[in-house]
Amino acid sequence: MNVIVCVKQVPGTNEVKMNKETNTIIREGAEAIINPFDTYAVEEGVRIKEQTGGKATVISMGIPSVAELLRQTIAVGIDEAVLLSDRAFAGSDSLATSYALSKGINKIGDFDLVICGKQAMDGDTAQVGPGLAEKLGIPHTTYVRKIEEIRKGYIRCQRMTEDGYEVIEMPLPAVITVVKEINEPRLPSLKGMMKAKKAEIRIMTADDIGADKDLCGLKGSPTQVVETFVPVHDVNSEMIEGTPGEQVKRLAEKLLSMKFMTVK
Amino acid sequence: MNYFLTEEQQMIKDLAAKIADEKIKPVALKYDEEGIFPRDIVKVLADSDLFGVYIPEEYGGFGGGIFEMALVVEELSRACGGIALAYAGTGLGTYPIILFGTEEQKAKYLPDIAQGKKLAAFGLTEANAGSDAAGIQTTAKADGDEYILNGTKQWITNGGEAEVYTVIACTDRSKGARGFSAFIVEKGTPGFSFGKKENKMGIRASVTSELVFEDCRIPRENLLAREGMGFLVAMKTLDRTRPGVASQALGIAQGAFDEALKYSGERVQFDKPISSFQAIQHMLADMAIQIEAARCLVYQTCRHIDGGAKSISKESAISKVFASDTAMKVTVDAVQVMGGYGYMKEYPVEKMMRDAKITQIYEGTNQIQRNVIALELIKSQKVSK
Amino acid sequence: MSGIRIIEESCIGCRLCVKACPFGAIRMDGRKAVILDNCTLCGICVPACKFNAIDYEKGPVSNAVDITKYSGVWIFAEQKNGVPEPISYELLGAGRKLADDRKTRLTAVVIGDKLSDACEKLIAYGADEVMAVEDGSLAVYNDESYSDIFVQMIRKGRPEILLMGATTYGRSLAPRIASRINTGLTADCTRLEIDPADGKLLQTRPAFGGNLMATIICPNHRPQMATVRHKVMKPLEPDYSRKGLVTRPEVSIPRETSVKVREVVKTIFEMVSLAEADVIVSGGRGLGAPENFKLINELAEVLGGAVGASRATVDAGWIEYNHQVGQTGQTVGPHVYFACGISGAVQHLAGMSSSDIIVAINKNPDAPIFKVATFGIVGDAMEILPLLIKEFKAALG
Ligand SMILES: Cc1cc2nc3c(=O)[nH]c(=O)nc-3n(C[C@H](O)[C@H](O)[C@H](O)COP(=O)(O)OP(=O)(O)OC[C@H]3O[C@@H](n4cnc5c(N)ncnc54)[C@H](O)[C@@H]3O)c2cc1C
Ligand SMILES: Cc1cc2nc3c(=O)[nH]c(=O)nc-3n(C[C@H](O)[C@H](O)[C@H](O)COP(=O)(O)OP(=O)(O)OC[C@H]3O[C@@H](n4cnc5c(N)ncnc54)[C@H](O)[C@@H]3O)c2cc1C
Ligand code: SF4
Ligand code: SF4
């Protein structure tokens, strides 16, 4: 079974912090990482490939340096990495991203399943998976926490919901987005790392994948960021002192006086 | 500092560091407290191919040497010196086969060890033979195509968990240390069992057990090198693996230093982080100085050994003594920097202090190492005269 | 050609843009800012520059529509077993205001089975019209049939604004629809306003794990779609005397879907879900052992709240992943959040710092959780929790 995994580069988690005084974002190091949710997607892709035979490919849309990051996925078992990189893609919102990825995936061709992360740590929209499925004209299921069965043309999986899960069947090819619960990503192996070092990362432009540039990047993006600001949480922290008994009494008094509980 | 590691060595170190941080750190405290053997970590190390770094390529390894092994041990020990010992102890048990094994012996044992399918152990010490290894009582009697082993080995790292044991026994008592021979004994051989498991001060995630041989018959082809070469096998092995202990010490020291440094910036007393007090600053500086010196020495010693040098006893002894004394001092100071919190089990440094101690004791106590160093010095003095 | 450029004459070298760019794509070259190759054209730096020194040309967008042909505000009313979910009322509250500002109608779209009660309620909560699609096959949410039906309705009804809940279903359905009709979709909004100048919808949302707020518009495409976070929009007081229209739009309901929901399994049996809860009691490593979560459960029960957990406890297998709060878990915003034995790693804070009141209980006085806490207690959660349970039991009867 051939699996394609979508992977996004995001700024390292701790790099985006806020500076309370100047009300701006401060970056430290600005090291880029693979979107954490996508590591679960990669692991699931590799497992499916190992169990069913076939090939696992990663695809990413991003700046040229993302190619180096994609090597990490080869070190954990991905067979091939494809990077869509072109100035024409810059400024994509989730719609334009979905479009470009769908073109790239069709170019790679011959796939049974596309796996995305639940959401990206930076944009945080969780929209690319379903948007991509639509552009590919295939079904999707979000928040998959377990694949119960997968075979040619068929998948049965569990989607996480607010109070449990649903068991969903789909024909393949299809798109799933995965949550952290689905697996525990393996660490790279030395052999994998050696392979990754030598691997060739295929870089494709908008023309290579036959994308209509009007539908890519800024031009293809209906949404537009007009303002950004750092949220300020004014916290007046109050430490409650005393013996445990006193602390609890005082806390309860304060909370109850604020009528915090809407009686149900 | 640029340690001039090759690209492969850097990769090995980075990979081991990742495993240490992501897999070992979260469980180190629990495994220590409950004395759990780290089977799960062994699996992770196996999947990562790290068991093979020092094993020749012909046998499924990466063809590195003691340096590659030391880099792994250092990084793992940064997170837990005890868990790291499952790996390092396997190195100690495997080296006799790498150094003295026949083609058949290597082909039979090394591939499984390289893949992490089998762990190894090294059995020399006995109740009455510690520093004085020449005092061992375990015997191996030739009987046709077999040897019959009798006796008890004490305090054997990985005892009971390993599948492959290299054991030193006496084949000819009349010849003293020249009557020793080395054997490969597989777990499950009739007459081979495991005695009591020790309850230790530190490295509690490592298992230390007795090996009990009662008319244990092993095939003649399990003899390593030749009869009478057992003591040499043991000494040559230990000369090579001592930088492994040194790197374990180095890793423990580094781990304790990292904790102390971090804590010193967070802990506020007298309205200032304690790192603003000169007394703390100097302690931290001294720790850094010693660790850096130890690392340079250990790395250089490894390169010396892997480079094929003939005389390595003194060098490997020096690296072991220096690094283990450093680990002891640094961990004690790390507890001091962290004050009462450092003494509590919520923070890892009290454990590191307990773990550090063993590095001054095993694979030859630091006193014995100093004897070796001094002896070599005197010998070289005589030669040059 | 669309792109971004620093207007050198205007740039005074104040570095504001450098600090604003989350991708590290601006560098100072002497006294002038320069944009590097790794710029993603996200546009964040543009409003950050107070000197209009960043020229950001969007160029003509494709697939633009005649926006004058669209009117009305729609909300997707999620329901379960014929009962609207709380988010539906919140959307009506938000939608009512937008519709009034735009002087247009507010319509609730509800898809399911046996919906007459739901229709009544949706009107009471502010809808001018309810478009209900009822069919036995639609009782349980299905991505394929729901999106097919919805798209038919949008194509016919042409709303200018469409709001959905940022729920599991909403965040699956909305992007599928937006992708099919090629319009913009803003995710997980916490504020919605009409720009008085041009009537556009200003959609504000958190990104970067809550560290940055972005206001987003969709100027040339319709409908302007947004998913809206739980519990931020206020529902109206229900008024059952309100009059409204219930219509049954003519749509073709897919007879056979390729996506099939085989089973719906509940694993969380608390009264309220994390996302909906007014009170959340969360436990962390400081509880010491998995069995101590029973104290968390007990307090949550006394307060009618939900149970949360830190990543460390989920990773250690103490509690199920559905309970995890934080960057890789759920984002929550209750009135009161109890963090018991949680140190407060940034990733955890990202998921709960918008709670109205945060109570932190931790042994370590230096734990970062105290930095965001409204009330802090330095102490052992295992000692404090039983006392709290007793205290609240007594107070609340
Ligand atoms: C502050 C800010 C706010 C934004 N708000 C919106 C908004 O409201 N609506 C909107 O449409 N866009 C928005 N964007 C743009 C959005 O971030 C980009 O479109 C981005 O390319 C994809 O969206 P995402 O990051 O949210 O990914 P998600 O949809 O959250 O990503 C889900 C999964 O899709 C896959 N994926 C996503 N991007 C890529 C990629 N480039 N290559 C390969 N796989 C990928 C990954 O598997 C990922 O785990 C915003 C950007 C910023 C900086
Ligand atoms: C946790 C642990 C794991 C071990 N793992 C293994 C293993 O895997 N395989 C194995 O074979 N052995 C192993 N050992 C044994 C270890 O190598 C011995 O403990 C060590 O060699 C010291 O021997 P001893 O404990 O009998 O001390 P002793 O020899 O009794 O020494 C006691 C003290 O006397 C000093 N001393 C002794 N002789 C002299 C001398 N000539 N000059 C100066 N001082 C002297 C020593 O330095 C020490 O301070 C392990 C031990 C421990 C504690
Ligand atoms: S914010 Fe504007 S003026 Fe300031 S450095 Fe950047 S481009 Fe120049
Ligand atoms: S558009 Fe975005 S990525 Fe480019 S420089 Fe501005 S803030 Fe940075």
pLDDT tens digits along C299-356: 998 888 899 999 989 888 899 888 999 877 888 888 899 999 999 888 888 888 878 8
Q: Do C72 and C157 share a domain, yes or no?
A: yes
**Spatial CA neighbour of B1 closest among B260, B245, B291:** B291
Distance between the two ends of chain A, CA-based, in angstroms? 51
Residues C323, C200 within the same domain: no
A173: cis peptide before it, omega within 30°? yes
Specify if C186 maps to a domain.
yes
A20 has a pLDDT exceeding 60: no
What pLDDT is stored for residue A262 in this prediction?
47
pLDDT band at A154 (very low <50, low <70, confident <90, very high): very high
Whether the Cβ atoms of residue A122 and residue C22 lie closer than 8 Å to each other? yes
* C232: CATH: 3.40.50.620
Give yes or no for B13 touching A (CB within 8 A).
no
- Yes or no: say if B203 and B129 are a contact pair by the CB < 8 Å rule: no
What are the φ/ψ torsions at residue C382 (nearest 5 degrees)? -70, -20
Q: Contact C22/C5 with Cβ under 8 angstroms?
A: no
**8 Å CB contact of C213 and A249:** no
C390 assigned to some structural domain: yes
Q: Note the pLDDT of residue C371.
A: 85
Please tell me the total number of residues recorded for chain C in this structure: 397
Alpha carbon distance B12, B50 (integer Å): 7
Cβ of B181 closer than 6 Å to ligand 2, yes or no, is no
CA C74 to chain centroid, in Å, comes to: 17
CA distance A119 to chain C (A): 9
C290 close contact with B: CB closer than 8 A? no
What does the block give as tokens for A221? 């993006």
Helix (H) or strand (E) segment spanning residue C188: strand C185-189
DSSP B12-27: HHHHHHHHIIIIIHHH
Q: What is the pLDDT of residues B76-133, one digit of tens each?
A: 999 999 999 999 999 999 999 999 999 999 999 999 999 999 999 999 999 999 999 9
Which tokens go with B315? 């060098």
Q: Helix, strand or coil for residue C191? A: strand
Q: Is C171's pLDDT higher than 50? A: yes
| Residue in A187, A194, A197 nearest the CB of B48 | A187
Measure A264 CA to ligand 4 centroid, in angstroms. 47
Same domain, C227 and C95: yes
Domain residues for C52?
A: 3-57
| CATH number of the domain encompassing residue C354 | 3.40.50.1220
HSE-CB for C177 with a 13 A CA cutoff: 30
In a domain, C258, yes or no: no
What is the tally of structural domains in chain C? Answer: 3
Whether the pLDDT of residue C224 is over 70: the answer is yes
Residue C346 lies in a domain: yes
Q: How large is the ipTM?
A: 0.87
CB count in 10 Å sphere of residue C310? 32
For chain A, domains (ranges, CATH) are 2-215 (3.40.50.620)
Give the nearest partner residue to A190 out of B15, B23, B44, using CB atoms: B15
Q: Which of C57, C77, C101 is the last residue of a domain?
A: C57
Mean pLDDT of C172-188: 96
- Co-location of C206 and C320 in the same domain: no
Residues C187, C291 within the same domain: no
Instruction: Domains for chain B: give ranges and CATH numbers.
Output: 7-119 (1.10.540.10), 121-230 (2.40.110.10), 231-379 (1.20.140.10)
What's the gap in Å between C22 CA and the centre of ligand 3? Answer: 15
Q: Residue B31: its chain C contacts at CB < 8 A?
A: none
Contact A234, C309 (CB under 8 A): no
Would you say how long chain B is, in residues? 385
pLDDT tens-digit profile of A63-94? 999 999 999 999 999 999 999 999 999 989 99
pLDDT at C269: 67
Name the closest-CA residue to atom 27, ligand 1. Answer: A120
The CA distance from C366 to A24, in Å, is 25
pLDDT for the residue numbered B248: 98
For residue C349, the model assigns a pLDDT of: 86
**Of B113, B203, B242, nearest in space to B166 by CA:** B113
Look-up: residue for tokens 């004394």? B325
What pLDDT shows up at residue A263?
40
* Cα C228 from Cα A43, distance rounded (Å): 31
Q: Report the SS3 class of residue C247.
A: strand
pLDDT given at position A47: 98
Q: Quick one: C227 and C324 in the same domain?
A: no
Q: Is the pLDDT of residue A227 over 90?
A: no
The pLDDT mean for chain B works out to 96
pLDDT given at position C206: 87
| Predicted pLDDT of residue A264 | 36
Q: Specify whether C50 is located in the same domain as C95.
A: no
**Assigned domain for C116 exists:** yes
Say which of B126, B259, B315, B363 is annotated catalytic.
B363
C39 Cβ inside 6 Å of ligand 4: yes
β strands within chain A, DSSP E: 3-6, 9-11, 17-19, 24-26, 32-34, 56-61, 80-84, 113-117, 140-151, 154-161, 164-171, 174-178, 202-204, 224-229, 238-239
**C327 touches C209 (CB < 8 A):** yes
pLDDT at C292 over 70: yes
pLDDT confidence of residue A207:
97
Q: Are residues C24 and C89 in the same domain?
A: no
Q: How confident is the model at residue C210 (pLDDT cuts 50, 70, 90)?
A: confident
Say if CB A125 and CB C188 are below 8 A apart: yes
pLDDT of residue A16: 46
Q: What is the CATH number of the domain that holds C21?
A: 3.30.70.20
Phi then psi for C143, rounded to 5 degrees?
Answer: -50, -45
Is residue C256, in this structure, part of any structural domain at all?
no
Instruction: State residue A21's pLDDT score.
Output: 46
Note the pLDDT of residue C3: 79
- Residues present in chain A in total: 264
| C351 located within any domain | yes
Shared-domain flag, residues C74 and C212: yes
Write the residue in C63, C172, C274 that is nearest to A130 by C-beta. C172
Integer CA distances (angstroms), B258 to B28, B206, B263, C248, in order:
16, 23, 9, 67
pLDDT of A208: 97
Residue C334, preceding peptide bond in cis (omega within 30° of 0): no
Whether C122 and C47 share a structural domain: no
Under 8 Å between Cβ of C138 and C145: yes
List residues of A whose CB lies inside 8 A of any B CB.
186-191, 193-194, 197
Higher pLDDT, C147 or A236: C147
Average pLDDT, chain C: 91
> Does the CB atom of residue C208 touch ligand 4 within 6 A?
no
C97 shares a domain with C16: no
Low-confidence ranges of chain B (pLDDT < 70): 385
How far does residue A27's CA lie from ligand 4's centre (Å)? 13
Q: What is the distance of C-alpha A53 from the center of its chain? A: 25
C138 and C272 fall within a common domain: no
> Quick one: pLDDT at residue A235?
67
